[in-house]
Structure 1
Amino acid sequence: MSVSVTKIASNKTFGGILSKYTFKADSLGGLDAKFNVFLPSASESSKFPILYYLAGLECTEDTAPWKGGFLRDAAQEGIALVFPDTSPRGAGAEGEDDSWDFGTGAGFYINATNPIYSKHYNMYDYVVKELPKALQSLDLPLDFTRESIFGHSMGGHGAISLYLPPWGQKAFTGYLTGGIDEGKAYDSTELIASAKGKNLNILIDYVRRPLRSVTRINSTKAGQLLPENFSAAARSAGFTESQVDVREQPGYDHSYYFISTFVPEHIKFHSKFLKA
């Protein structure tokens, strides 16, 4: 089935072009879905590897391009960036606008099975299946054989799918009929334990402060999602530090000041594998 995607904005930046698109996403119940794509400056023969960025709670597809400092480094590395939104918008589902950490702006990149949310809140299918099809329909110079993903906060939770109480409990008990047990399918600590023997390349930065921690690839609140548990599970599964590197960065907070500080290193990290 063809996808009809409309360009609604375009800006030149760092020699490349940042464009905003929209289309009606089946996985989101037919609602309009907006996303941004950054393409570096290129010759006619260039095709760029793709790096997807999943943003955090309360963010949109615009937050990272505006605040994160991503575009300069992606332009230098010759990498395309894709910025999806964080949830469906305007679903009208019960309670979706009652709190900042559930519903609108807080899709958690999972597929809801609770009937209240299952028509629209399927951000996993949207990011993994439908968004790539929308990108392919645009005939942009993108190399779909070279893709990677990273994120911040809830987006890190989406990229490495941590589920640990109490943050994961609220999302999983709300979106999933099977609650916490069903949520284990999205739990990166569970998943990495079962990934023994695979070739993994993961870089995580986090900050430990009272109730706050930030990571790239994954970002969590320190007292809630416990990145050290993920690290311990990785070591137990036999992964070395060069394969799964979890680094504390003292003194920073959960903001985009932290992101803009460390994003150059992370884009270079992904570039190393995307260009291999």
Structure 2
Amino acid sequence: MKEVKVINSCDGKLISLSHDSACNNCEMALNIYLPKQYYSNETHSTIPAIYYLSGLTCTPANASEKAFWQCQADLYGFSVVFPDTSPRGESVPDSKDEYDFGQGAGFYLNSTKEPYVKNYQMSDYIHKELPKELENYFQDCRLDFTKNVGITGHSMGGMGALAGFFKLYPHYKSVSAFSPIANPSAEDCPWGQKCFSRYLKDFKSESLEYDPCELIGKVKPKGDNDVKKILISVGTKDPFYSTQLYVDRILEYSKGTAWENKIEINKLQGFDHSYFFVVLKSPACQIPCH
């Protein structure tokens, strides 16, 4: 892992990094924000991390420049990791005429289908490889990238955050999602149908492994105290609300599970699919991890 650029942001620093990924067989880029607490001599507390998964077409720069989590990170004392949304490079299979498939649209899954299987191992990259790479790079006991961690994301990233939260439960201490693609394996979700059918060899069964609605009933917490609250925010004028996202379905799928009555969906009047409401709701979504 190597440092590409460091800039001051709020009272901390935003660091751009790159490294060779064993999972994706290519060079991966990421941004990370280290809060003011890390640079202060007045505190020795361990700093937890929030992993923010971005949506379609995004790079590590989108959320770090538009969502502006830095102020909240300084307020509550956590770092924010902004991974890329897919593998990149000339040797990585792509579909340049499609914004919602290929590079910039990795869907946070492990591909099992040629020619994508070699590079598109984003689930293992996000949840396994990247945290260890960060830990090895910084080698600082004040920074926790593997244990006291939360996860969040927007759109495709919201789907990835929820799916990762359920698949690895109880690894992530908090989860929130902004305009998530909640039921991507459904026949009426074009984004999910396109990407799952082309990334996954056994589309019908494997797609369920990355669908938050399908995963929610598979997790069996030991008791009520182990059930983490799920926070979801979506704009009422989101153009994808009833054609791609289907956020309300997760409430239906939660019935009879440990998460019944544990999911809070905030519907923001007048907001669309952009980052404006992410900035507005980020404070509430980060507190549970701290």
* Structure-1-length-normalised TM-score: 0.87
Deviation by residue 1:105-158 (Cα, 9 ceiling, x = unmatched): 000000001121000011101101110111011224312320010000110011
Greater CA drift, 99-108 or 176-185: 176-185
Q: Residue 148 of structure 1 corresponds to which residue in structure 2?
A: 150
> Which residue pairs with 1:231 in the alignment?
251
Listed one character per residue, the Cα deviations across residues 200-232 of structure 1 (whole Å, up to 9, x for unaligned) are 32100112436323xxxxxxxx32231111111
CA-CA distance at 1:238 after TM superposition: 4.6
Q: What does residue 12 of structure 2 align with?
A: 16
Residue 172 of structure 2 corresponds to: none
Task: Note closer, same or farther for the CA distance 1:15–1:239 as it changes in structure 2 (3 Å cut).
Answer: same
Q: Does 1:211 align with 2:236?
A: no
Contact 1:15/1:41 (8 A) holds in 2: yes
Q: Which amino acid aligns with 1:12?
A: N
| Residue 229 of structure 2: aligned partner | 201
- Distance between the aligned counterparts of 1:210 and 1:150, measured in 2? 19
User: Contact 2:216 / 2:259 at 8 angstroms: preserved in 1?
Assistant: no
Question: Which residue of 266, 271, 275 corresponds with 2:285?
Answer: 266
| 1:65-87 deviations in Å (ceiling 9; x for gaps) | 10012101111110111000000
CA distance in 2, matches of 1:46, 1:116: 45
Alignment of 1:134-173 (within 5 A): 134-138=133-137, 139-140=139-140, 141-143=142-144, 144-161=146-163, 162=182, 163=184, 164=186, 165-173=189-197
Aligned residues: 257
Contact 1:205 1:248 in 2 (8 A): yes
Residue 249 of structure 1 corresponds to 268
What is the CA–CA distance in structure 2 between the aligned matches of 1:94 and 1:240, rounded to whole Å?
40
Q: Which aligned runs of 4 or more in structure 1 are off by greater than 4 angstroms?
A: none
Alpha-carbon spacing, 1:37–1:158, altered in 2? closer, same or farther (3 Å): same
Equivalent of 2:3 in 3, 7, 11: 7
Cα gap change, 1:20 to 1:250, in 2 (>3 Å): same
Q: How far is the alpha carbon of 1:258 from its aligned partner?
A: 1.6
Gaps of 5+ in 2: 164-181
Q: Runs of 5+ in structure 1 lacking a partner?
A: 214-221
1:77 and 1:24 mapped to 2: Cα distance?
32
SS at match of 2:201: coil
Cα separation, 1, equivalents of 2:195 and 2:92: 15
- Residue 202 (structure 2) aligned to one of 168, 174, 178: 178
The code of the aligned residue for 1:211 comes to P
Instruction: State whether residues 31 and 81 of structure 2, in contact with CA within 8 Å, keep that contact through their aligned partners in structure 1.
Output: yes
Cα offsets for 1:1-59 (capped at 9, x unmatched): xxxx1011111222111111111001111x11111111112345332011000000011
1:95 to partner: Cα distance: 4.3
2: CA distance, partners of 1:17 / 1:94: 34
Structure 1 pair 238–146 and aligned structure 2 pair: CA distance change class (3 A): closer
Change (3 A) 1:124 1:89: same
- Between 72-81 and 87-96, report the one with greater CA deviation: 87-96
Q: TM-score w.r.t. structure 2 length?
A: 0.83
Letter in 2 for 1:263: S
List per-residue Cα deviations over 1:155-174 (Å, max 9, x = no partner). Answer: 00111134232221111001
What SS does the corresponding residue of 1:51 show, helix, strand or coil?
A: strand
Distance in 2, Cα, partners of 1:99 & 1:109: 17
